[in-house]
Amino acid sequence: MHKGRAFAEVIIPSPLKEPLTYQIPPELDLTPGMRVVVPVGRRRVTGVVAELVAASRIERVKPIIEAPDGQPVMDEALLRLGQWIAKYYLSPIGEVLAAMMPAHLRGESRRVVSASEGEFAVDGLERRILDELGRSKTAIGLKSLAKKFPRGFYPALDALARIGAVEIRERTRRQRKKPVSDAENVAPPNALSLTAEQQTAYEAIEAGVVAAGFRPFLLYGVTGSGKTEVYLRAMERARSAGKRSLILVPEISLTPQLLDRLQARFPGKVGVIHSALTAGERWEEWWRIVRGEVDVVVGARSAIFAPLPELGLIVVDEEHDSSYKQDEGLRYNARDVAVVRAKLVGCPVVLGSATPAVESYENCRAGRYALLELKKRVERRSLPAVETLDLREVWPTSSDKPRLLSPILAQALRDNLARGRQSLVFLNRRGFANFLQCRLCGFVLRCAHCSVTLTFHKSERIVLCHHCGWRQAAPEACPHCGHPAFLPVGFGTEQLEHELAELLPDARIARMDRDTTVKRGSQEKLIRQWQRGEIDVLVGTQMITKGHDVYGVTLVGAVLADLSLNLPDFRAGERTFQLLSQVAGRAGRGEEPGRVIIQSYDPQHYALRHVPAHDYPAFFAEELEFRRALNYPPFSRLVHLRLEGAQAPAVEKQAKLLGDWLRAQGSRSAGDSQIEVLGPAPAPIMKLRGRFRWQILLKGKKGPALLALAAAAQARVPRTSRWRLHIDVDPYSML
Ligand code: ADP
Ligand code: ZN
């Protein structure tokens, strides 16, 4: 088939920048995207064929050992997407591939080892490995076995395999469990007739699906305007054109309703990818998708890598959501990657939101994306009436002990409960209090590993680090001076829940935040109870602001809007507007109109001022001026560099050297390719998980020049035991 293509470039999951070249044995019929097992040093590694080539640049190339699947695990467009990501996000292609594929596909834990029958005369490490295997009745995973023998394991195992003392094989695939869903017996919904606005939006996307070319759309539709219905129709259209579609959502456990709707429309043909899947489940799902057994895939961030053949449409719901940005490991933005994937595949991509990201709306103004608008809610429902309360006027004198709920919000909650309606109360901070402080000496408990205070959680009587999870029992007295008044300062959702329970003793109150939803499936359970009206008041962090569509909710309270506003982040205003508009949008989705009360110390801030009128364009106009004045995106591009290490002085010194060098480089550029170097400065969280952090921000008008400089910095500061340089292109969180 591939005459003259005697060599394969193979990407292996590793920090290598380039694929490795191997010789193709004549009996193997390879295509790009296939998995192959290759020798690397003395190990066998599973990689993916990037390309077939006629000649090798190096002389002695080893042959490929085997190709386990007989078919590609990804198509060429997905491979090229991986290569684009590697280049753009300055990450080695092998690490990109590792992030794209489930661990099992990388061959890491798929292999199991068992002892063979019979006696073998070996000693030393080989003997100990064999004994370990002898103690186990069943086969042991290769990886977990390797962990028990830190030194010399693989050569010893190889030796044992050669004499037939052990057997190494692929783990047999488990039978697939049937996906569980409430929607199994749901009949397809009676066909709604689209509103005129929905119809117009649908037709534009439909034209894109039929033309099968790259077309980016921003579907800007107010909350409850029926965006999801437009996505579903477009996905059905793709299917009738013989294509498959992919829909990304911020967090799948928060949107069980969407899953229901998808399963009703595409019975048995929905693939689901999310972080709660086990490695084995991911692997199963991957194969189901590669084989073309599903028509649609829904999932959170990493689902953008789902290997759908014949991809005909990509949808990114709530495209503004910051959970699309991966902040650890491979730092990518799934929304941006979605647009690139659509371009490589040649298909339309729909970004949907009631509160678009500033960058996305700007892309419409600049003519790069087509803007589709849904300005009205379906069924002529009105948008909720939003009022802002100035807390400075609510609690004018210090003799009134300020509570979390103002008298107006408290009364509204009582009334709403009396009418048998549901209320949502939002506060963007979990825990009971920010921290514990001694009233005598002022001592505050801090995390031993991070430069932050420990948050007090009353029900468990612990103090907890919200960054690294470190916890300890809350001390009864000040650990510093022994004074007994070691008391909570500040507040969080746990305290709010207490205050609500006092206010509404008969109400069924539930709290939803990271503390109450650690168990798998607990978020979904809460949302379902909320949906069935089994909860009167739902209290929570931003988790409760997203996506759900519950008819009985007629009151929404935002307890302290200022919390997100005062973060050291240029997107703080944008985030605040988005959070408040989204949480407000949960109200009044049924027959009855909704009421929203926002408490704040700064209701005149532009991020709050336009929420009552649901006026995104007005907010956008002000936000854009702010961004222009400070030369922030979309007027510039950013790359964030962070140096980390266990020794504070070494990190600081290296950061300063790098800063000087970058400045010298930056000053050589001129005009549009000019690059501003900000820092180095200690990161806002200077110490995290025991590692000290310094940061530098690069700002420039032109992406390529910026990336080139960042790449040069990367080459200058190789990873050592003393420090490590993390690079975040188009950063979101810079704490
Ligand atoms: P959004 O995603 O914009 O918040 P949804 O698509 O979830 O809105 O729609 C909100 C509600 O309105 C859903 O219950 C949906 O079934 C319903 N809906 C959507 N389109 C229509 C329509 N054309 N006519 C009547 N109801 C609709
Ligand atoms: Zn910590």
Q: What 8-state DSSP symbol labels residue 403?
A: -
Q: Which sequence spans correspond to the domains of the chain? A: 7-106, 111-170, 187-380, 385-432+491-628, 433-489, 637-729
The structure tokens 């043909």 sit at 269
Q: Measuring CA to CA, which residue among 353, 401, 343 is closest to residue 373?
A: 353
Among 378-382, 542-546, 590-594, 669-673, whose mean pLDDT is lowest? 669-673
The structure tokens 């437009």 sit at 230
Instruction: Identify the band that residue 713 occupies on the pLDDT scale cut at 50, 70 and 90.
Output: very high
Query: Is 375's C-beta closer than 6 angstroms to any atom of ligand 1?
Result: no
**H or E segment and range at residue 115:** strand 111-115
Work out the average pLDDT over 613-632.
93
The structure tokens 């997905």 sit at 78
Among 157-171, 249-263, 372-386, whose mean pLDDT is lowest? 157-171
Q: Which ligand approaches the C-alpha of residue 686 most closely?
A: 2
Q: Which ligand approaches the C-alpha of residue 377 most closely?
A: 1
Query: Is 317's C-beta closer than 6 angstroms to any atom of ligand 1?
Result: no
Q: Measuring CA to CA, which residue among 348, 345, 288 is closest to residue 76?
A: 345
Please tell me the predicted confidence (pLDDT) of residue 111: 65
Q: What 8-state DSSP symbol labels residue 516?
A: T
Please tell me the predicted confidence (pLDDT) of residue 348: 98
Query: Is 13's C-beta closer than 6 angstroms to any atom of ligand 1?
Result: no
Query: Is 227's C-beta closer than 6 angstroms to any atom of ligand 1?
Result: yes
Q: Which of ligand 1's atoms lies nearest the C-alpha of 230? A: 6
Question: Which is the CATH superfamily of the domain at 187-380?
Answer: P-loop containing nucleotide triphosphate hydrolases (3.40.50.300)
Instruction: Identify the band that residue 165 occupies on the pLDDT scale cut at 50, 70 and 90.
Output: confident
Q: What amino acid occupies position 389?
A: L
Q: Which of ligand 1's atoms lies nearest the C-alpha of 195? A: 23
624 has pLDDT over 60? yes
Q: What would the pLDDT profile of 501-552 be if each residue is shown by its tens digit?
A: 999 999 999 999 888 887 878 888 888 898 899 999 999 998 888 767 777 8
Please tell me the predicted confidence (pLDDT) of residue 151: 75
Distance from Cα 561 to the centre of ligand 2, integer Å = 26
- Asked if 360 contacts 730 with a C-beta cutoff of 8 angstroms, the reply is no
Secondary structure of residue 54 in the 3-state scheme? coil
Please tell me the predicted confidence (pLDDT) of residue 312: 97
Please tell me the predicted confidence (pLDDT) of residue 169: 67
- If you count DSSP H runs as helices and E runs as strands, how many of each does the chain have, helices first? 21, 29
C-alpha torsion sign, points 521, 526, 530, 533: positive
Domains 7-106 and 385-432+491-628 share a fold: no
- Asked if 638 contacts 646 with a C-beta cutoff of 8 angstroms, the reply is no
Instruction: Establish how many alpha carbons lie within 13 A of residue 485's alpha carbon, considering only the half-sphere containing its beta carbon.
Output: 5
- What percentage of the chain reaches a pLDDT higher than 90? 53
Q: What 8-state DSSP symbol labels residue 255?
A: -
Measured between its terminal Cα atoms, the distance across the chain in Å is 53
Instruction: Identify the band that residue 176 occupies on the pLDDT scale cut at 50, 70 and 90.
Output: very low
Question: How far lies 283's CA from each of 78, 272, 276, in Å?
Answer: 17, 12, 13
How many Cβ atoms are within 10 Å of 323's Cβ, its own excluded? Answer: 18
Distance from Cα 224 to the centre of ligand 1, integer Å = 6
How far is the C-alpha of 22 from the C-alpha of 56, rounded, in Å?
8
Q: What would the pLDDT profile of 290-340 be if each residue is shown by its tens digit?
A: 999 999 999 999 999 999 999 999 999 999 999 999 988 899 999 999 999
Q: Per CATH, is 385-432+491-628 categorized as 3.30.70.360?
A: no
Q: Measuring CA to CA, which residue among 603, 602, 583, 488 is closest to residue 541?
A: 583
345 has pLDDT over 90? yes
- Asked if 404 contacts 495 with a C-beta cutoff of 8 angstroms, the reply is yes
Work out the average pLDDT over 583-596.
86
Work out the average pLDDT over 661-669.
82
Distance from Cα 58 to the centre of ligand 1, integer Å = 60
Q: What 8-state DSSP symbol labels residue 593?
A: -
Distance from Cα 326 to the centre of ligand 2, integer Å = 20
CATH code of domain 637-729: 3.30.70.600
CATH code of domain 7-106: 3.40.1440.60
How many Cβ atoms are within 10 Å of 565's Cβ, its own excluded? Answer: 20
Query: Which residue's CA is minimally distant from atom 23 of ligand 1?
Result: 194
Instruction: Identify the band that residue 466 occupies on the pLDDT scale cut at 50, 70 and 90.
Output: confident
Query: Is 590's C-beta closer than 6 angstroms to any atom of ligand 1?
Result: no
Q: What would the pLDDT profile of 110-140 be if each residue is shown by its tens digit?
A: 566 777 777 777 778 888 888 888 887 677 8
Please tell me the predicted confidence (pLDDT) of residue 401: 63
284 or 366: whose pLDDT is higher? 366
**H or E segment and range at residue 555:** strand 553-558
Q: Which ligand approaches the C-alpha of residue 375 most closely?
A: 1
- Asked if 71 contacts 64 with a C-beta cutoff of 8 angstroms, the reply is no
Per-residue tokens: 639: 């790359």
Instruction: Identify the band that residue 2 occupies on the pLDDT scale cut at 50, 70 and 90.
Output: very low
- Asked if 334 contacts 324 with a C-beta cutoff of 8 angstroms, the reply is yes
| Sheet strand arrangement including 471-473 | 455-457, 462-464, 471-473
Distance from Cα 263 to the centre of ligand 1, integer Å = 17
Distance from Cα 232 to the centre of ligand 1, integer Å = 11
Among 378-387, 397-406, 468-477, 619-628, whose mean pLDDT is lowest? 397-406
Query: Which residue's CA is minimally distant from atom 12 of ligand 1?
Result: 226
- Asked if 463 contacts 455 with a C-beta cutoff of 8 angstroms, the reply is yes
Work out the average pLDDT over 86-106.
88
Instruction: Establish how many alpha carbons lie within 13 A of residue 219's alpha carbon, considering only the half-sphere containing its beta carbon.
Output: 33
Q: What 8-state DSSP symbol labels residue 189?
A: P
